[in-house]
Structure 1
């Protein structure tokens, strides 16, 4: 037998032994829950990444719920905003560095985002977490999870559990459901906001839990000025960059950030103008009729037209498969059209009543099922963040 052949066989034998060791080691921890891993170290270490304002709010609630029900002290590291900072997270860098919306809009920021990705990977490796939690922002989150898992595998290390909060919108895009299959390679469990997402995830090999929509925890925390029409949400300001459009809309609207909105304000309002996104669901909770508006880069709008497989852009319309909320999208999103639709909505009580009735159904669909409620100190808790926290603590990975 030649020296080269003997070396090749020896190398192959070592590889087999090494791979067998990986399987044995991973198998030994596969039946252990997150809380068991924390018990070994006397603390639960969670590395969390949120890339936008809504993710910061979701992450903050989950952090609070984990601290409430964990039998061990919880330590956090990662990326987040002001809300997560209130619960002990010192963000590695400003969360706004990741909050880039759109597709073509992302291109000028690629170098910075790549640098932030490397920074996050290094921090996660040093922190030695039991759990990795990414919240929405799937572009950055999924790249982060992929590279982190590859790093653990390369170093032959036991990897932490990987959770992603907010299922990707596979239902909105052509071929989206097929892409779910690949997520199981780097995501252990997904927390779903919509009722139909859990089953579809599981059919595609992904462990998932429907926890309910996070705005259900906000229904009594909304603050503002009484106006006939409200215009709020950070992205909506881009719609009014043109002075002429601002003047046309000025008689209808008061610009406010969504974080400043209050229930008293909403109850005093007749209708609202908002962007698509979480704010449209918040208005359903407040039973405030609204008009949804959306503009983006011309190439992003073209891609959305080409790839989208749902006829609506706002979540309430998608859930009910009905255009009960008027939408002004792309080229139709002009000041004149917005003003005309708002006028009709303000003056037509029947249209507003129809929206409020449909809102009842939307809220029902977004509420978690009773069998997902968490028992805590003799109290049933149905908050989405508590359901997610309990699922995270007691989850057992199947290898």
Structure 2
């Protein structure tokens, strides 16, 4: 009799990591029936039982989520009804804590026999340690990506396995031997429409200022989807920067290995850039209500994953009002003109990326889930 699994991912990075994990899990259990919600990569592995909702679900920030509360409430109800009908043996939740932690609570009440595993642990150590005891009651196991997370979750009584970061496997496959192009700057505004709307015009203005001072400087950026690529090209035209800025459809990892330096939106891309040794500055800008709430609850010195993992400042962080053309232009100009600064940053980034663990994260995560399949 086939075993059924329900899985939910709500962002592009979660879709990528989820696809790798599901692929490894199907190698172990080919008969596994997979249902749930994710993105195109997960659907390719899982088949028609998994809906592709990532492009609509990947919104960031409290204010942005509240504006679409009705839509999320409908999706929540649909998925809960579906999982109640399927009664899967296992529920795997991938990152996306705002939705997934609530869903885990609802499923625990409705289906007490379903085992609930969380892959890519939510960063409650940053914003709400008070939720740890509740998570320990609802979840059966946490699969975490960073070594410092394991004792935090175990301390709350939650079974936890450190599997390492799946980026190590995914990025190693895309490593190339291309040399870096002198005077090429990467503009990486994120994979969400809202991020692009908030950050890309500012990046283009910084690029315009830099191109005026250094005409030899060229800029490249990559749309995370055809829709975003089209929008970014429209913004480049509006900024009259066609002569210096090239927008490609995808290919961010290749660009990270070719560019001399870059500016990167806070998120998974900052770890990716670190892995490839791309010197960069980090930018972060959300709606002010979202930022004020976050500032009140997050008790960290840095918001960038690289700086948190390193335990100190490796890259500059420009947050909210500081995420402006002047700060970004100055940071990029220093990378372009100061080779020692550029190389020192590159070395620190590579050393920090080394803390992400060795290859095999997808298979270690799949093996942990497979233990529950066999029980």
How would you bin the TM-score normalised by the shorter chain? 0.7 to 0.9
Q: Which residue of 1 aligns with 2:161?
A: 209
Q: Radius of gyration: which is bigger?
A: 1
Cα shift at 1:309: 1.1
Q: Find runs of 4+ consecutive structure 1 residues off by over 6 angstroms.
A: 222-225
Taking structure 1 as the reference length, the TM-score comes to 0.78
Q: Is the 8 A contact 2:144 2:161 kept in 1?
A: yes
Quick check: 1:255 aligned with 2:207?
Answer: no
Cα shift at 1:349: 1.3
Q: Is the 8 A contact 2:284 2:320 kept in 1?
A: yes
Cα shift at 1:328: 0.9
Distance 1:103 1:222, change over 3 A: farther
Q: Is the 8 A contact 1:161 1:397 kept in 2?
A: no
Q: Is the 8 A contact 1:80 1:89 kept in 2?
A: no
Matches within 5 A, 1:84-163: 84-90=42-48, 91-92=50-51, 94-153=53-112, 159-163=113-117
Structure 1 distance, partners of 2:11, 2:252, is 21
Name structure 2 gaps, 5 residues minimum: 212-217, 226-249
Q: 2:40 aligns with which of 82, 86, 90?
A: 82
| Cα deviations by residue, 1:59-112 (Å, 9 ceiling, x for unpaired) | 101110001122x51111010111111103333462333222101111111111
Cα shift at 1:245: 6.1
Q: Which residue of 1 aligns with 2:187?
A: 231
Cα shift at 1:322: 1.4
The number of equivalent residue pairs is 335
Structure 1 distance, partners of 2:270, 2:152, is 24
What RMSD, in angstroms, separates the aligned Cα atoms of the two structures?
Answer: 2.4
Cα shift at 1:264: 4.8
Matches within 5 A, 1:50-65: 50-65=9-24
Structure 2 distance, partners of 1:66, 1:116, is 26
Q: Which residue of 2 aligns with 1:172?
A: 126
Cα shift at 1:263: 5.2
**Equivalent residue of 1:249, what SS?**
helix
Name structure 1 gaps, 5 residues minimum: 1-40, 154-158, 369-381
Taking structure 2 as the reference length, the TM-score comes to 0.83
Q: Which residue of 1 aligns with 2:349?
A: 359
Cα shift at 1:123: 1.1
Structure 1 distance, partners of 2:123, 2:339, is 34
Cα shift at 1:162: 0.4
Structure 1 distance, partners of 2:360, 2:141, is 19
